[in-house]
Amino acid sequence: MTRQQAVEAAIRDCRERVNEAIQEDLPINRPERLYEASRYLLEAGGKRLRPTILLLAAEALEGVSPGEEAYRSFPSRTGDPVDVLAAAVSVEIIQSFTLIHDDIMDDDDVRRGVPAVHREYDLSTAILAGDTLYSKAFENMLETGTPPDRSVRALSELATTCTEICEGQSLDIDFEGREAITPDEYLEMVELKTAVLYAASASIPAVILGYDDAVDPLHSYGLDVGRAFQIQDDLLDLTTPTEKLGKQRGSDLVEGKQTLITVHARDQGVDVEGLVPSDSVEAVTEREIDEALARLEDAGSIQYARRTAQELVESGKHHLQTLPDNEAHALLADIADYLIEREY
């Protein structure tokens, strides 16, 4: 089995475990419509990368090979069993909450190849579904069975992460109205909007399992690979076919979103605002996106974004050196590479 196949197998295994746990931890209660809307995106798919990182970090810390121990009763440094799967479900629930509200703010029609929650249901139900998921994530984190002091630390990490995600989203909206931003401003925005949830996913296992010395290195790993993930997402928005992407290719460019690609292109003298003649996602053509992509490649902006993502991944893998040398450790490093090699 190649390393890429091992990564894909680990992601697939963790995804199956998390999907089963979502059914248990987020049941359909009354009112049914609210909970159906809350689970709608969770059931629509998703790679479950954040909970995968959480589960693998737990395995790396304890030196437990995948599948060797039940995640619901995971060994810890203190000797008490901990439900790390409950924590994994929490971070995935937070991810789904952010997607619902992002789609509302962006007025997007499609997510994961299905109608967005506010399109499938209605705006009010979608807002309530997102709020419900936000609350349920904290409820679930309380179910890990870790000692109270560690439970409080995990909840504090999750709360801080949610605040930072909102700050990042606010910056992203603010940047759309600005003519130019710097690469550092962009990286700060994606750290808050995207990377902090990866950082929480990686570090929370160290908190609840009692590995205090690993909390900061794993948090730093998550920040670096999370920023790289977002840069790759920006690249995929331009390079991945619409049907595979699950939304209109080039939509970020049409909507005027600031990305590391456009930041660099503007610095090279490219008229970013004039790259795409169409002024709406519905009207843009594949040919217009292809022509814009060619301009960005000529400016070196695509290569610049890819190089930056690679540097962040290498930095992230460096932070893993404090972990025990085992298969889960290796998979965490390989997943970092996977985040910038994936095609969708």
pLDDT score recorded for residue 99: 94
Q: Which residues pair with 82 in a beta bridge?
A: 74
Q: How far is Cα 127 from Cα 31, in angstroms, rounded to an integer? A: 15
Q: How far is Cα 61 from Cα 323, in angstroms, rounded to an integer? A: 6
The answer on pLDDT for 275 being more than 70 is yes
Digit-coded pLDDT (tens) for 60-74: 999 887 666 689 999
Q: Flag the least confident range among 167-171, 178-182, 242-246, 281-285.
A: 242-246
Q: How far is Cα 81 from Cα 212, in angstroms, rounded to an integer? A: 17
Q: Flag the least confident range among 71-80, 207-216, 295-304.
A: 71-80
Nearest to 164 by CA among 133, 196, 134, 142: 196
Instruction: Give the model's confidence band at 284: pLDDT under 50 very low, under 70 low, under 90 confident, else very high.
Output: confident
Q: How far is Cα 266 from Cα 296, in angstroms, rounded to an integer? A: 10
The residue-averaged pLDDT of 109-116 equals: 84
Whole-angstrom CA distances from 105 to 98, 169, 170 are 10, 10, 11
pLDDT score recorded for residue 68: 61
Q: Is 75 left (phi over 0), alpha (psi -120 to 50) or beta?
A: beta
pLDDT score recorded for residue 187: 96
pLDDT score recorded for residue 62: 92
Give alpha helix (H) positions in the chain.
Answer: 3-25, 32-44, 49-62, 84-106, 117-120, 123-141, 148-176, 183-190, 196-209, 212-239, 242-245, 251-254, 260-267, 286-298, 301-318, 327-341
The residue-averaged pLDDT of 33-59 equals: 93
* Residue 22 one-letter amino acid: I
**This prediction's pTM:** 0.94
Residue pair 22/89 in contact by the 8 Å Cβ criterion? yes
Q: Flag the least confident range among 130-134, 188-192, 243-247, 267-271.
A: 243-247
Most confident of 240-249, 273-282, 304-313: 304-313
Within 10 angstroms of residue 32's Cβ, the number of other Cβ atoms is 9
Residue pair 89/21 in contact by the 8 Å Cβ criterion? yes
The residue-averaged pLDDT of 50-67 equals: 90
Instruction: Give the model's confidence band at 197: pLDDT under 50 very low, under 70 low, under 90 confident, else very high.
Output: very high
Q: Is 133 left (phi over 0), alpha (psi -120 to 50) or beta?
A: alpha
Q: How far is Cα 212 from Cα 201, in angstroms, rounded to an integer? A: 15
Nearest to 135 by CA among 152, 105, 158: 158
Instruction: Give the model's confidence band at 4: pLDDT under 50 very low, under 70 low, under 90 confident, else very high.
Output: confident
Instruction: Kindly state the percentage of the chain with pLDDT values over 70.
Output: 99
Q: Is 343 or 193 the better-scoring residue by pLDDT?
A: 193
Q: How far is Cα 308 from Cα 314, in angstroms, rounded to an integer? A: 10
Q: Is 251 or 159 the better-scoring residue by pLDDT?
A: 159
Task: Give the mean pLDDT of the chain.
Answer: 92
Provide the CB-side half-sphere exposure for 283 (13 A, CA).
7
Whole-angstrom CA distances from 309 to 260, 295, 304 are 10, 20, 9
Residue pair 302/293 in contact by the 8 Å Cβ criterion? yes
Digit-coded pLDDT (tens) for 200-249: 999 999 999 999 999 999 999 999 999 999 999 999 999 988 777 767 78
Element (H, E) at 115: strand 114-115
Which residue in this structure is represented by tokens 């790759």? 232
Burial of 199 (0-12, 13-18, 19+ CB in 10 A): buried
The answer on pLDDT for 22 being more than 90 is yes
- Please report the domains of the chain, with CATH numbers, ordered by start residue: 3-341 (1.10.600.10)
Residue pair 90/158 in contact by the 8 Å Cβ criterion? yes
The answer on pLDDT for 156 being more than 90 is yes
pLDDT score recorded for residue 305: 97
